[in-house]
Structure 1
C-alpha cells in the first residue's frame, strides 16, 4: 500500500496531525508567555514531580494504544532475539554514549545544558513512543514489550549510568565531572505511574471487553471509539508542556538553538541507525519501525523531573530537558511520515 493510499484512509485528525501539533506547540508557548499565573496554576498539583495536567495527558494518551495491544501475541516478540538484543544495545549502550559525545562536542562551554542533555540521553522512552509507533504502523505488541523492557532497565540502570556518564567517564577523560542525586525508588514510581497505570487499564479493557462482548466487537466497535482519545491526549500534553516553559523558551532563543542542535543530530542518527540495523537483521517493516522509534525517543517526563529535583526548576539542566520534547515532537512526527514512505520497501519482508 502506498503512502498516499495510507493517508487517504486516515481521519482528518490523523491526516493533519503535524498541523495540529504545530498549533498546540504555538498555543502552549503563547499561553505560557502571555497568560498571567498560568505556570504556577499548572504546577499547583504534581504527580511524582510532574504537573498533574501533564500526568493526566500522558495517561489519556497512552491508554487507547495499550488497549489495542493483543496481549496473547506477546510471546512471539519475547522469542525474537533479532529485536530484543539490538533494542537493548541501542537504548542502553549506544544511545547514552552518543548523547554524551554530542553534548561535549557541541556544548563544551555550557556545562548546565550539557548535563541536562546527558540526563535526557539516559532517560529511555516509555510514553510518547507508543504514539509514534502506532502512527507509523509499527508492531504494537513489540512496542509494548520493548517499552516494558526499557522500564525495567530504567529503574535498575538510570542512576548507575548517570553516575558513570556525569562523574566517572568525564574524570577518566580529564573533563569536568558532576553528580546526580536520584534514587531507584523515584524512577520506579515514575515508571509505575506513567506506564503501569495505562498498561493495566489497557490489558483489563481487552480481557474484559473480549470476554463480555467478543473480539470482533472489541476491535470493530470499542477501539475505533477510544482510539482518537490518544491524539487528543497528545495534543493536550503538548499544550500544557509548552505552556509551562513558554517564557523560558521564548526569552532565551539562542540558548534553545544551542541545545536543539545536538538533539537534532541525536534523533536523526538514532532513528536512521536503528532502522538500518533492523533491516540488516531481517526484521519486518513493523518491527523495524518499532525498533527505530523506541531507540530514538526519550522519556522527557523523567529527564525533566530528575533535572528539577537535582538542580532546580530554573536551572539550565531543566531547560535542556524541556527543549527535548520541543525538538523531539516535530522531528519524530516527521520521521513517522518518512517511515510510512519506506513501508513499501518492506512489503515482501517476513513478519
Structure 2
C-alpha cells in the first residue's frame, strides 16, 4: 500500500477540516462553485469525480466474466447482499432512526433528506476501494474483478429503478431525468472509457510483449493515481465547504447520521460473513465478497445526492458522512477478516 491508502483516514479527516474552515471563511467562493451546474449536475464536482472513477474503471477486466461459472457461490453471495439485502436494510435503518429515535431532534424535511442520502449509499455497491480491501485481505484478485464488473453492469440497469422505488417509499419525489443522467455520467461513460482505454493499452503492449500481465494498464493507472487522490480530497473539501455552515450550526447532525451508517456497515458485514462461512467459500473469495457488500460507491452516491437534492442538502451531507465513516470502519473489518482466516480453512 502506498502512503495515501495507508493513511487514507488521516487525509480525508484533514480535508474535512479544511473544507469546513474554508467554507466558513470564504462562503462566497463556494457559492460561486455551487452555481456552476448543468441539468442539476455540478460541473466541478463531476470533473473531480471523473478523476476518481476513471482510473478504477480501467482496472476492471470484463473478459474475466466468462470464468465466473467455475466458482459461482462467491458471486451469488455478493449479488444477494448488494441487491436484495443492503438497500432495504439501509432504508429501514434510516427510517427507524430519523423517523423514530431521532424524530425529536431533526425536522421532517431534513429527516427525509438524510434518509435519502443513506438510501443512495445503500443502492451503490463499492467499485473503487474494493480493490484495496481485497488486497489487504489477500483476496483472489481475478475473482474480485469479476464481482466488481458484474456489479457495475447490474448497477447500470438497477440503480435508477431501485433508488426511485426506495426514495418513493420515503415520500421523496425523484426526477428520473436527473437520476438517469447521473447513472450515465458516473457509471456508464466511465465504464466505456475505461474499457476502451484498457483495450488500447493491451493492444499496444501486445505489439512488443505479452499483454497477459497488463503491465501497460498498471503503469498507466499508476500515472493517474495522483489525479485520483487529488480528485478525492478536493471533492471532500468542496462538499464539506458547501456544508460548512450547516456543520458548524449543527455538529450533532454528523453524529446522528454516523450512528445508523456504522450499524449498517457492521451489520451487513456480519450477515455476509456468516453466509460465506455457511456456503463454505474459500477465504480469498469470501473476504472480498463481504467487503463489496459492506462498502459503498460513495462517489456515485454523492453525485446523485447533489444532482437530486442540491449541494447544500441533507442528502448530500449524509453521503459525505458516509465517506467519513466508511474508511475507519472498513479498516477494522479488514483486521477482523484477517484474524478469522482460520474459520474458512
Aligned residues of 1:42 and 1:244 also touching (Cα < 8 A): no
TM-score, length of structure 1 as denominator length: 0.77
- Distance in 2 (CA, whole Å) between partners of 1:207 and 1:48 is 37
- Distance in 2 (CA, whole Å) between partners of 1:91 and 1:132 is 16
Match in the other structure for 1:302: 300
> Alpha-carbon deviations, 1:236-276, whole Å to 9, x = none?
41342233323143443111211111111111112232233
Compute the displacement of 1:43 (Å).
Answer: 4.6
User: Closer, same or farther in 2 for the Cα pair 1:330/1:195, shift >3 Å?
Assistant: farther
Match in the other structure for 2:173: 179
Q: Once superposed, what is the RMSD of the aligned Cα atoms?
A: 3.5
Compute the displacement of 1:106 (Å).
Answer: 0.9
TM-score, length of structure 2 as denominator length: 0.78
Match in the other structure for 1:96: 87
2:75 counterpart SS class: helix
> Alpha-carbon deviations, 1:172-206, whole Å to 9, x = none?
xxxx6333222474223331234332343234323
Match of residue 66, structure 2, among 71, 75, 87: 75
1:292 counterpart SS class: helix
Match in the other structure for 1:6: none
Compute the displacement of 1:288 (Å).
Answer: 1.6
Aligned residues of 2:11 and 2:233 also touching (Cα < 8 A): no
Match in the other structure for 2:251: 253
- Distance in 1 (CA, whole Å) between partners of 2:158 and 2:327 is 25
User: Closer, same or farther in 2 for the Cα pair 1:319/1:62, shift >3 Å?
Assistant: closer
Match in the other structure for 1:4: none
Aligned residues of 1:133 and 1:290 also touching (Cα < 8 A): yes
- Distance in 2 (CA, whole Å) between partners of 1:80 and 1:295 is 18
| Matched residues, number | 330
Q: Which runs of 5+ in 2 are unaligned?
A: 104-110
Q: Which runs of 5+ in 1 are unaligned?
A: 1-9, 171-175
Compute the displacement of 1:292 (Å).
Answer: 1.4
User: Closer, same or farther in 2 for the Cα pair 1:82/1:74, shift >3 Å?
Assistant: same
